[in-house]
Chains A and B, each alone.
Chain A
Amino acid sequence: MDIVVKKIVREVKKGNQEAFSELVELYKDKVYHVSYRMIGNTHEAQDIAQEAFLRAYMNIESYDEERKFSTWIYRITTNLTIDRIRKKKPDFHLEDRVSGTENLDYHSQFADDVELPEDQIVKLEMQQWIQEEIMRLPPKYRSAVILKYLEDLSIKEISEILHLPEATVKTRIHRGREALRKRLN
């Protein structure tokens, strides 16, 4: 593991709370991004991401320094997100409509987009469409696809994050990919 991260973790384990903010700085973008892509809503994504760090802090003693911190924090994040998805929409499946508020929400990522030029709007709409397609994936495929294609993680790391055998991870990626193929072509 990264020596800097290791040092920070040790500081936190010793009770240095301030040191924890350095860990948050290092991983906040990854955590937020995964959470946002999985839940599709900026406010919830931020809430989940902050909760993930809070849990990491509370459980820092159980963190095994021999493993990558990113794997651990991703794991907490995906667990929390999947849990949140289950609670809000127990029977989410491919055919479910993506709510219209997602559009607004997507635009809210860009605080200063008062007047965007035409090509920017096209890009935005393209991005928005991609997120909608990601949201159409069943959560268990969605998490695998996001970790693989957006976070660029190895099958091995994804299997550790999702706590699933590598073969299962591959199957989920294949199925997610196939679902996307059917919709996007």
Chain B
Amino acid sequence: MACTQEKRELLDAYLDEELTLLEAKQLEAHIYECESCEQHLQELKRSVAIIQSASHFEAPRHFTEGVMNRLPEQPARTKWKHRIRRNPLIVAAAAFLLVFVMSMAGGMGDGQEMVVEGEGQFLLDREQNLVIIPEGSTVDGDLTIRNGDIEINGEVTGTVTVVNGQHLQASASGAAGEIEEINDALEQIWFQVRSFTADLIPSGSDEE
């Protein structure tokens, strides 16, 4: 026959190892004399042991691949997003610059990110999604701008491609290809990035 509810609760606490040494001793003394509690405790222990004998399964093969395939597409350019946003000065301080891939998020309303790809020095207006190739600056090769405008005052030796943006004709410039231009400049920063794959920014400098 069953013992008291109080003893049942003590048995739970006992199994959870939450009784003081004295309480545990007292309960053990009771269990020694109470068949019902002894059986109850044995049954609980047995149940736990059975459940604990359940094997551990590993995730199926190709699990990680499956997850990575489900992630939203994210081109390499977004890598720069935080770095540039947090540390424009460090980026600007990089001495040689050559391939610049950048994306901007935030402050763009429609959620489209501006992307600039090219080799050379750019002046960037974040507020207006404008890239300016300043006078005296040469972009060696092609230049691509997405979701932004471009103004070319310097030179572009290759083709300028503007996707979802405009080429604002600012002057008779030396652009060999198509160019896109933007006119508002709230924050203008010179970006000089040696390579978009090179980690120019010392790791740690841009951490929160």
Query: A interface vs B, CB < 8 Å?
Result: 10, 13-17, 20-21, 24-25, 28-29, 31-33, 36-37, 42, 46, 49-50, 53-54, 57-58, 109, 126-127, 130-131, 133-134, 145, 149-150, 155, 170, 173-174, 177-178, 180-181, 184-185
Query: B interface vs A, CB < 8 Å?
Result: 12, 15-16, 40, 43-44, 46-48, 50-60, 63-64, 66-68, 70-72, 74, 78-83, 206-207
A54 surroundings in chain B (CB, below 8 A) = 67, 70-71
- Minimum CB–CB distance for A96 against chain B, Å: 19
How far does the alpha carbon of A42 sit from the alpha carbon of B46 in the complex, in Å? 27
A29 surroundings in chain B (CB, below 8 A) = 56-59
A58 surroundings in chain B (CB, below 8 A) = 72
B57 and A50 contact, CB distance less than 8 A: no
How far does the alpha carbon of A28 sit from the alpha carbon of B80 in the complex, in Å? 28
A184 and B206 contact, CB distance less than 8 A: no
- The DSSP consensus for interface residues of chain A is helix
- Minimum CB–CB distance for B127 against chain A, Å: 22
- Minimum CB–CB distance for B18 against chain A, Å: 8
A32 and B50 contact, CB distance less than 8 A: no
B78 and A15 contact, CB distance less than 8 A: yes
A16 and B79 contact, CB distance less than 8 A: yes
A10 and B59 contact, CB distance less than 8 A: no
B57 and A149 contact, CB distance less than 8 A: no
A46 and B63 contact, CB distance less than 8 A: yes
A28 and B47 contact, CB distance less than 8 A: no
A130 and B54 contact, CB distance less than 8 A: yes
B80 surroundings in chain A (CB, below 8 A) = 15
Given A50-B63, A54-B67, A145-B51: 15 more A-B contacts, CB < 8 Å: A15-B81, A20-B68, A20-B71, A24-B63, A28-B64, A28-B67, A29-B59, A32-B58, A33-B58, A46-B60, A49-B59, A130-B51, A133-B50, A178-B44, A181-B40
A16 surroundings in chain B (CB, below 8 A) = 79
B47 and A184 contact, CB distance less than 8 A: yes
How far does the alpha carbon of A131 sit from the alpha carbon of B50 in the complex, in Å? 10
B40 surroundings in chain A (CB, below 8 A) = 181
How far does the alpha carbon of A54 sit from the alpha carbon of B69 in the complex, in Å? 10
- Minimum CB–CB distance for A157 against chain B, Å: 15
A32 and B63 contact, CB distance less than 8 A: yes
- Minimum CB–CB distance for B61 against chain A, Å: 9
B207 and A10 contact, CB distance less than 8 A: yes
- Minimum CB–CB distance for A185 against chain B, Å: 4
| Set A17, A33, A127, A174: member contacting B71, Cβ < 8 A | A17
B54 and A42 contact, CB distance less than 8 A: no
How far does the alpha carbon of A21 sit from the alpha carbon of B74 in the complex, in Å? 14
Task: List the 5 closest pairs (A to B, CB-CB), nearest first.
Answer: A32-B59, A28-B59, A180-B47, A185-B43, A53-B67
B51 and A14 contact, CB distance less than 8 A: no
B47 surroundings in chain A (CB, below 8 A) = 177, 180-181, 184-185
Given contacts A25-B64, A50-B66, A181-B47, contact A149 B74 (CB under 8 A): no
How far does the alpha carbon of A178 sit from the alpha carbon of B2 in the complex, in Å? 14
